[in-house]
Copies of this chain bind each other. A is one copy, B any other.
Amino acid sequence: MAAQSYDEFIDHVKRFSNVEHAVHILNWDQQVMMPEGGTPARSQQVSTLSTLHHELLTSEETETYLSALESSSLTDEQSAVVREIRRQYERADRVPSELVEEIAHTTSSALPVWKEAKENDDFEAFAPTLSKLVDLKREYAEQIDPDADPYAVLFAEYEPYLGLDTAERVLERLRNRLVDLIESIEQSDVALETDAFSGTYPADEQEALCRSALDRLGYPWEHGRLDTAPHPFSTGSQFDARVTTRFTEDDPIDALTSTIHEFGHAMYTLGLPREQYGTPLGQNRNLSVHESQSRLWENHVGRSRSFWEQFLPAVTERFPETSGVSPRAAYEAANQVYPDNLIRVEADELTYHLHIVLRFEIEQQLIHGEIDVEEVPHVWNEKMEEYLGVRPDTDSAGCLQDIHWTHGSFGYFPTYSLGSVLAAQLYATATQEIEALDEQIQNGEFSALQEWLTDNVHQHGQRYTTPDLIEHATGEPLTADYFLDYAERKYGALYEL
């Protein structure tokens, strides 16, 4: 196939990629800017663009280009592009559009049902909807690959290359080791400084603090923005990657760590090669890798002792009432472990993974038909008891707390833990390869770390599959070792275990 045809293929790919980027902007606008009354029009706009995207992706043109290119001699980069588009094409093409529409319709009408059930602590009211969603997503998986484990197929939607076996292996190790570690912490006599930042912090002052944190970390404002949203997220392209956060009046650490988390996502996006915008080489690898970037910045940088050494004066300057807080106290406040917390999004660095393990196990059982929807509350509570030693009093604080299943997202949760694990592995390598990294952070110098991440992760886009990217960046396959070492070292020291 002539070079010209490859270029035409890329033009074709850019068309549906641009439609997808437009949808992201519409979604950002809806969550951050749009007045509530705009919903009916926005739903129609997004639905039309999603259909157009699907039609362009699954058009005969795509198949013709792919077949021709697959029997041509291609460079490694060209092969990677063809591999990624082939994958998208096959998954989109195999699912009948009626099923896609039924899923879209069901998830859309599921949202108010879930919200009301959560508000009223009424799982029964949500059960039929959840049951339908499980059936539809099982059917969806079967359409894509009737011979595969349907949960593995769903998981691959979010993380296509790591394989479910890797996820199982990693999460099992986390479960085994973290249950013990958290138990030791509970039995420790050490009580961390918990009230370093007690008090009331006005939202506008918190926002100014978050902006100054982003300044220090090197967020390029000419390519981004900071706004507020009920559920913080980041979205955009290598030219314009935006961050949102939220403010809780009595917890300035929450807004700050959440901002740093989204900053990590945004910097990944901004590190993608600009000249490859609209092609898989200019697109991020999947959710685990994205989450590794946010968690690396949030936890390994933003919750480190060194970070607090250098950043505390900025806090004190803005909030003089915190002038008595020492860097050690701030560090402790940012790193408390709360085993009795029931809510995933409020969990600390350690217990977080047990919340994930629990969901990972339950959603597999649901998709495999090993438990019925009606059993979910009971199984949930049993596992909470087993892994964390607490039992939710209500389903609102239990199996109704997360929105993911309402969206039809089964297989999404494990990518959060895989991201943490990868973050630790990457950070360990960066520490070896960057001279005095910890000292740099203590001095507020973040550019060497940023460059290392761009060189080893961001700039490759989807050039490598996830396992290859990890191998390339760290010299070995994904392993929980680094995260567990980090966790045991850090929390062992904090709680004098």
Look across to chain B and name the residue whose beta carbon is closest to the beta carbon of A38: B240
A contacts with B: majority SS: helix
Mark each residue of chain A from 236 to 277: 1 if its CB lies under 8 Å from any CB of chain B, else 0: 111110000000000000000000000000000000001001
Most buried by B among A39, A45, A237: A45
Q: Which of A209-257 contact B (CB under 8 A)?
A: 220-225, 236-240
Which residues of B have CB within 8 Å of A225? Answer: 33, 35
Chain A interface residue count, Cβ-Cβ cutoff 8 angstroms: 40
Per a CB cutoff under 8 Å, which of B41, B47, B224 touches A240?
B41
Look across to chain B and name the residue whose beta carbon is closest to the beta carbon of A47: B18
Q: Please tell me if A21 contacts chain B, counting CB pairs below 8 Å.
A: yes
Which residues of B have CB within 8 Å of A239? Answer: 37-42
Which residues of B have CB within 8 Å of A101? Answer: none
Given the known inter-chain contacts A19-B49, A22-B26, A49-B18, please indicate yes or no for A223 contacting B37, CB distance below 8 A. Answer: yes
Which residues of B have CB within 8 Å of A35? Answer: 221-225, 240
| Complex Cα–Cα for A22 and B26 (A) | 7
Q: Assess the A44–B221 pair: CB atoms within 8 A.
A: no
Q: Please tell me if A15 contacts chain B, counting CB pairs below 8 Å.
A: yes
Q: Assess the B48–A14 pair: CB atoms within 8 A.
A: yes
Given the known inter-chain contacts A18-B44, A25-B25, A44-B18, please indicate yes or no for A34 contacting B278, CB distance below 8 A. Answer: no
Given the known inter-chain contacts A44-B14, A49-B18, please indicate yes or no for A240 contacting B25, CB distance below 8 A. Answer: no
Q: Please tell me if A36 contacts chain B, counting CB pairs below 8 Å.
A: yes
Interface residues of A (CB under 8 A from B): 14-15, 18-19, 21-22, 25-26, 29, 33-42, 44-45, 47-49, 51-52, 220-225, 236-240, 274, 277-278
Per a CB cutoff under 8 Å, which of B37, B45, B220, B274 touches A22?
B45
Separation in Å of the A394 CB from the closest CB of chain B? 32
| Complex Cα–Cα for A41 and B20 (A) | 12
| Complex Cα–Cα for A486 and B222 (A) | 48
Q: Assess the B48–A222 pair: CB atoms within 8 A.
A: no
| Complex Cα–Cα for A40 and B275 (A) | 10
Q: A14-B48, A36-B222, A38-B236 are in contact. List 4 more A-B contacts (CB 8 A).
A: A29-B29, A37-B240, A40-B274, A52-B52
Which residues of B have CB within 8 Å of A278? Answer: 44
Separation in Å of the A277 CB from the closest CB of chain B? 6
| Complex Cα–Cα for A224 and B41 (A) | 13
Which residues of B have CB within 8 Å of A47? Answer: 18
| Complex Cα–Cα for A29 and B19 (A) | 16
Q: Assess the A29–B25 pair: CB atoms within 8 A.
A: yes
| Complex Cα–Cα for A49 and B223 (A) | 22
Look across to chain B and name the residue whose beta carbon is closest to the beta carbon of A56: B52
Per a CB cutoff under 8 Å, which of B45, B220, B240 touches A21?
B45
Q: Assess the A237–B14 pair: CB atoms within 8 A.
A: no
| Complex Cα–Cα for A22 and B43 (A) | 11
Given the known inter-chain contacts A18-B49, A35-B222, A222-B35, please indicate yes or no for A240 contacting B274, CB distance below 8 A. Answer: no
Which residues of B have CB within 8 Å of A21? Answer: 41, 45
| Complex Cα–Cα for A35 and B222 (A) | 5
Given the known inter-chain contacts A18-B49, A26-B25, please indicate yes or no for A44 contacting B277, CB distance below 8 A. Answer: yes
Separation in Å of the A55 CB from the closest CB of chain B? 10
Which residues of B have CB within 8 Å of A26? Answer: 22, 25
Which residues of B have CB within 8 Å of A221? Answer: 35
Separation in Å of the A238 CB from the closest CB of chain B? 7
Q: Assess the B240–A48 pair: CB atoms within 8 A.
A: no
Look across to chain B and name the residue whose beta carbon is closest to the beta carbon of A24: B45
Which residues of B have CB within 8 Å of A25? Answer: 25-26, 29, 45
Separation in Å of the A39 CB from the closest CB of chain B? 7
| Complex Cα–Cα for A83 and B222 (A) | 45
| Complex Cα–Cα for A407 and B274 (A) | 28
Look across to chain B and name the residue whose beta carbon is closest to the beta carbon of A49: B22
Separation in Å of the A408 CB from the closest CB of chain B? 23
The 4 closest A-B pairs by CB, nearest first: A38-B240, A18-B48, A37-B223, A41-B239
Which residues of B have CB within 8 Å of A49? Answer: 18-19, 22
| Complex Cα–Cα for A422 and B26 (A) | 35
Which residues of B have CB within 8 Å of A220? Answer: 37
Look across to chain B and name the residue whose beta carbon is closest to the beta carbon of A15: B48
Separation in Å of the A97 CB from the closest CB of chain B? 14
Separation in Å of the A331 CB from the closest CB of chain B? 33
Which residues of B have CB within 8 Å of A223? Answer: 35, 37-38
A-B contact pairs, 14 of them (CB 8 A): A18-B47, A18-B48, A19-B52, A21-B45, A25-B25, A35-B223, A35-B224, A37-B222, A38-B237, A38-B240, A40-B274, A41-B239, A41-B277, A52-B52
